[in-house]
Amino acid sequence: MGAPVPNKIDVPPKHWDGAFAPSSCLVIITTMDDQGRVNAASFGTCTRVCHDPVHISFTCAVGKDTTNNILANGQFVANIVPFEQDVLDKVLLCGLPFRPGVDELERAGLTALASRVVKPPRIAECRTHFECSVAWTHQWLHRVMVCGKVEAVSIDEGCMTDRGEIVWDRVKPAHYCGAPYKDRFVPVYNAPLRAKWTYDGRDEEFREGQNWREAFQSKD
Ligand SMILES: Cc1cc2nc3c(=O)[nH]c(=O)nc-3n(C[C@H](O)[C@H](O)[C@H](O)COP(=O)(O)O)c2cc1C
């Protein structure tokens, strides 16, 4: 028996962009093969690449189960991983090169939860879930880049404010340090530091009609 599944709240489209925060983070991607078998794999390099409509993207090696399932079925779910020891341990298991057809969620003791609109499942232990249909793929060298259009977003109850911002210390997003660092992760959920800045330049340096003075200035 796993931990109780938290109540997942559907996020309205106007807050999908804010839900993928920070704009690049550690995820577990779930896909499904032609026989309906679930696959899960870890990705440290998943990035939000378009605000409206929200699209997210990542790359995967040719021949991997994730790549094959996506090319065959055109759907995936990016599950944002919390910086918690027991989940990070399972992230490493999901990165092992299991044979096709092996369900990494079962192997790692993670809980599959039916998605809202796509066939691959969400992962209950992750806080936020981006259900995607594939917009395009591009293969180069031995890699495939996948760009997914977000079709639905859900998040644990209590993890998003009314303004559509994540509650950082509940979502607890993480970064993977990268393959050279083996099993190391860093948290990215400290209270965000607000940069106070000014630019001492000339208006002619900027694109016509673009108000650089208000760029990146939050209201509060
Ligand atoms: C923490 C972590 C982060 C990873 N990030 C990436 C990544 O960004 N890109 C990638 O191609 N593989 C990444 N991997 C490796 C894949 O998870 C691994 O190749 C996995 O075997 C793919 O599984 P699949 O064949 O089930 O798709 C990562 C592995 C771990 C443990």
pLDDT tens by residue, 167-186: 999 999 999 999 999 999 99
Closest atom, ligand 1, to C-alpha of 68: 27
- Cα–Cα distance, 131 to 95 (Å, whole number): 20
**Can you give the pLDDT at residue 9?**
96
Query: Considering the domain boundaries, does residue 22 fall inside one?
Result: yes
**Can you give the pLDDT at residue 2?**
66
Ligand 1 pocket, residue 4 CB under 6 Å: no
Per-residue pLDDT tens over the stretch 53-110: 999 999 999 999 999 999 999 999 999 999 999 999 999 999 999 999 999 999 999 9
Query: Considering the domain boundaries, does residue 204 fall inside one?
Result: no
Q: Which long-range contacts (CB under 8 A, 24 or more apart) does 188-197 make?
A: 188/22, 188/25, 188/83, 189/83, 192/168, 194/218
Write out the H or E segment, with its range, that includes residue 72. Answer: helix 65-73
- Greater confidence, 56 or 195? 56
**Can you give the pLDDT at residue 3?**
75
Domain count of the fold of the chain: 1
Query: Considering the domain boundaries, does residue 138 fall inside one?
Result: yes
Query: Considering the domain boundaries, does residue 218 fall inside one?
Result: no
C-alpha distances (whole Å) from 93 to each of 26, 106, 107, 144, 183 are: 14, 10, 8, 22, 11
Amino acid at 142: H
Q: Which of 4-18, 48-62, 206-220 has the lowest mean pLDDT?
A: 206-220
**Can you give the pLDDT at residue 131?**
99
Which residue range(s) make up the domain with 101?
A: 8-193
Confidence of residue 197 (pLDDT cuts 50, 70, 90): confident
Ligand 1 pocket, residue 57 CB under 6 Å: no
- Greater confidence, 220 or 112? 112
CATH number of the domain encompassing residue 134? 2.30.110.10
Residue 36 alpha carbon to ligand 1 centre in Å: 21
Query: Considering the domain boundaries, does residue 169 fall inside one?
Result: yes
Query: Considering the domain boundaries, does residue 107 fall inside one?
Result: yes
**Can you give the pLDDT at residue 4?**
87
Residue 13 alpha carbon to ligand 1 centre in Å: 29
Ligand 1 pocket, residue 46 CB under 6 Å: no
Atom 26 in ligand 1: which residue has the minimum CA distance?
65
Query: Considering the domain boundaries, does residue 55 fall inside one?
Result: yes
For residues 105-131, average pLDDT: 98
Per-residue pLDDT tens over the stretch 9-47: 999 999 999 999 999 999 999 999 999 999 999 999 999
Closest atom, ligand 1, to C-alpha of 104: 26
**Can you give the pLDDT at residue 160?**
98
Residue 57 alpha carbon to ligand 1 centre in Å: 14
Ligand 1 pocket, residue 189 CB under 6 Å: no
Read off the pTM. 0.95
Peptide bond into 82 cis (omega under 30): no
Query: Considering the domain boundaries, does residue 2 fall inside one?
Result: no
Ligand 1 pocket, residue 61 CB under 6 Å: yes
C-alpha distances (whole Å) from 40 to each of 22, 87, 90, 98, 123 are: 22, 14, 11, 10, 9
Ligand 1 pocket, residue 27 CB under 6 Å: no
Ligand 1 pocket, residue 180 CB under 6 Å: no
pLDDT over 90 at 218, yes or no: no
